[in-house]
Amino acid sequence: MQTDRPQKTNWLQTHPNLVFWASFVVLNSLLFAPMYLLNQEGATLVPGPELFKDGYWVGINQLFVWRENPDPFRFSLELTIVAALWACVAWVRRRWLRWLVLVVYIVALAYYVYEAIVVSIYAVDPVFYSQYYLARDGLPFLAGHVRTAWWLLPVALAGLILTGTALWMLVGALLSSAASPRLRSMSRVAIATLAVLGLVASAVYQHYTATPGMVVSSVAAKVQQNVAASMALAADIARFDDTTVQQQYYYSRLKLTRQPNIYFIFIESYGSVLYLRPDFRQAYTAVLNDLEDQLRIAGWRATTALSDSPMWGGGSWMAYTSVLFGLRIDNQPQYLSLFNKYQVHTYPSLGRTLQDQGYEYTWLSSLEEDYVDKVWAKYERFYGVDKLVRNKDLDYVGPRFGWGPALPDQYTLNFAEQQLAAATDQPRFLFTITQNSHYPWTPHPVLVDDWRTLNQVQEQTPTTDPDSIEHAARRANYLHAVDYQLRMLTKFIMENGDDNSIFVLIGDHQPPGVSRRSEGWATPVHVIAKDPALIDAFAPYGFESGLEVARVQSALRHEGIYSLFMRLLYQAYGDQRMALPPYLPTGAIAAPVAHSGPDTNGSTSLP
């Protein structure tokens, strides 16, 4: 006797409306999840009643048009249009179009991830032309200095395969349920209405749909705006001409009658966020007050201002080159163009200006590197240094820490200073950037009484995976790193400086991971010397007495520091018969003259 068996059914057949909307919401939310995940601190997952604090109409606007909170409750114009067409127009339902939808969705998702990274970590707009060269030069450098377990590679590959499979299943579920004859008319009308509203919003707000804050988001608008910005940047770089720059920074006619040793020390990830978070500020200002007392007792004076860096969260080499060149450098193609141009030409940088006054220009880089001598020679020509002190020159055998991993900054600075002081009687200009306050701020060296004791063979401290560190611990690690840097530098100044020394301590950019884009681009600048007249001369330019500023507002820009420093150096120690050079608050302005585009081959970022 034969019995009838019930036919198997699945959710797609029995609940096409639920599958349709569930897959649509998941696919849509995935596009906006990266921005939310990279900005969780200070963000809310769901828009709250605070949207209406400034009035009903403003709240409605933020709810349906634009809001700063990076929540994923927005919708993709292109995904909505595809879903609406598949649900309402039968002839578009082709198998090959399914694959096209999947490919386009993956490309769109990749773009949203890329956008989230550059906006959240570097606080810049997505520009292919800029970020391509940054990734090309930066990722190999990053890979060479991040110790990653070998097994993470197959795990990452497996993750990509699983992600691709999951996306294929979600896209398939969306399109199959949209084509189902059991999909209700109400669902078809709803998705079509949403698509029409999206098109209307796109027409009304046009290119604004390319911005992350818009509720209606268009990846096509994002790409179009990105391409336009890339073309404009390439054209701007190609027009660079340094005729005006050479004239503005022509300081050779001025002569110093006194030549103090000058130290420009950049402090990695030293940003104004230290003033802007209550817990940071309390700990930070306590350290500043303690160190200022120590300096004052030892006869030192300090003055401080905040300066807007051209970079945020990374790109230190562009920040400090902006200071040394007196020129705003805020993207990798521009940096590379200058790097190649000044292999054969000479740029009138701060270091070269001081060389003209009889200084020996030393560049100190402690980060472990594997560049060949030929590459280092390019950096020497670019910056015009007399002496390059590299990792291999520091005779260090002790443990390394954190990023790189790097030597203890206390050892690096003191060893180099000891060697340089014994090698020449010339006045010295020393440039360096610290390493121990680089993300992820762990493991970290300790400050010791005698820096020589650091150079002992010890067991290497294991490197911690930054992603495994809780946010509260990361904040504590950052504060600890800043505390170390400031105490270490104060100790270095008091032990090595003399009555004629000038120390300029500058933050390169805001710290990644513990600051937000809304907190600005400012970093502290401290000038420390024993000459009260020199220190007081900075006051008219927005500097405040001591190591702390009362007004948390930028007084200058990194590209203006070069001209300001030279003006005040000549004012204090120059031939008074000569007119002082002008202060250029926004740096030198290049004359726009069209010529061939930048040569961007064979260069990398300086460690």
Question: pLDDT exceeding 70 applies to what percent of the chain?
Answer: 90
The whole-number average pLDDT for the span 9-21 is: 79
Q: What is the reported pLDDT for 598?
A: 33
pLDDT in tens, 540-550: 999 999 999 99
pLDDT at 358: 95
Burial class, 154, CB count within 10 angstroms (exposed 0-12 / middle 13-18 / buried 19+): exposed
The residue-averaged pLDDT of 563-577 equals 93
Residue 593's pLDDT is: 38
Tens of pLDDT, residue by residue over 134-178, are 787 766 655 555 555 555 567 667 777 888 788 889 999 999 999
Residue 339 pLDDT grade (very low, low, confident, very high; cuts 50, 70, 90): very high
Structure tokens at 254: 């001025």
Q: What domains can be seen in the chain, in order of their start residue?
A: 11-234 (no CATH), 239-573 (3.40.720.10)
Dihedral angle of Cα 478, 484, 485, 487, to the nearest 10 degrees: 140
- Which secondary structure element, helix H or strand E, spans residue 19, and what is its range? helix 16-37
pLDDT in tens, 240-287: 989 989 999 989 888 999 999 999 999 999 999 999 999 999 999 999
- Residue 179, classified by CB atoms within 10 Å of its CB into exposed (0-12), middle (13-18) or buried (19+), is middle
In this structure, what token pair is assigned to residue 545? 């007495």
**pLDDT greater than 70 at residue 432:** yes
- Give percent above pLDDT 90 in the chain: 63
pLDDT score for 5: 45
Residue 468 pLDDT exceeds 70: no
Residues 35-53: b if buried by 16+ CB within 10 A, e if exposed: bbebbeeeeeeeeeeeeee
Higher-confidence residue of 464 and 3: namely 464
pLDDT value for 97 = 87
Do 566 and 324 contact (CB within 8 A), yes or no? no
Q: List the single range of 301-305, 394-398, 444-448, 594-598 with lowest mean pLDDT.
A: 594-598
CA distances from 107 to 101, 104, 113, 595 (A): 10, 5, 10, 35
Strand 428-433 versus strand 360-364 pairing type: parallel
pLDDT value at residue 466: 66
Alpha-carbon distance of 417 to 488, in angstroms, equals 14
Higher pLDDT, 540 or 41: 540
185-205 helix and 16-37 helix, angle to the nearest 10 degrees: 30
Mean pLDDT throughout 509-533? 93
